Amino acid sequence: MKTEELEEKLEGGAETPNIDFKSACSWNDLTFAKDILAMSNIQDGGYIIIGVKELQNNSFEREGVNEIQKNSYKIDDMRDSMTKYADPHVNFNVYFPNDKTGKQYIVIRVNEFSELPVICRKDSTDTKAGVIYYRNKNRRIESAPVSNSYDMRDIIKLATVKMLQKETKFGFVVKPTAKKKLNDELKGL
């Protein structure tokens, strides 16, 4: 990730379903598991940007990270620790970009699930086994258990599209419905 892309995400100054800010901290799977699980279940995944502090008035302030914190984000260790939380596995990368003032940040780029929605496998202080986490849109944006039909529909729709795309590669064809056939036949009338 380059400075320009980081600046685009920081300039909004607000969290979105695809962007989550965290204060400067070292890697700890307990801190990040729920957010990584949730972002893997939304279209296009998302970014967790470490080094942005939330203030009392719900605004955000850039603070950056230090070298000790940065050095704790070792991608292989991070992926190994997330394996115990996710079924199926989650796919993410970690970057260390600087903003335009030279402050360094840690960005975890979480990819959306590849085929099936991700279910939590492990209870912790912040997660519960058997729960599907999602970045909700119906209130203050947060990573939370799926709690309404709209969020579940988004996840099911994304999984359905992925499954159809995969099956189409192998020659599977979705047959048109009777209504579509009738509409096609009646087009000339």
Q: Which pTM value belongs to this model?
A: 0.84
Please list, in sequence order, all residues whose beta carbon lies within 8 angstroms of the beta carbon of residue 148, skipping any fewer than 6 positions away. 136, 138
Q: What is the pLDDT of residues 163-189, one digit of tens each?
A: 888 777 777 776 666 666 667 777 766
Mean pLDDT of 119-126: 95
Structure tokens at 102: 């030279």
Reference 145, options 162, 160, 130, 159; nearest CA is 130
Maximum distance among all Cα pairs of the chain, rounded to whole angstroms: 73
Contact 121, 84 (CB under 8 A): yes
Q: What is the pLDDT of residues 87-112, one digit of tens each?
A: 999 999 999 999 999 999 999 999 99
**Residue 100 DSSP SS3:** coil
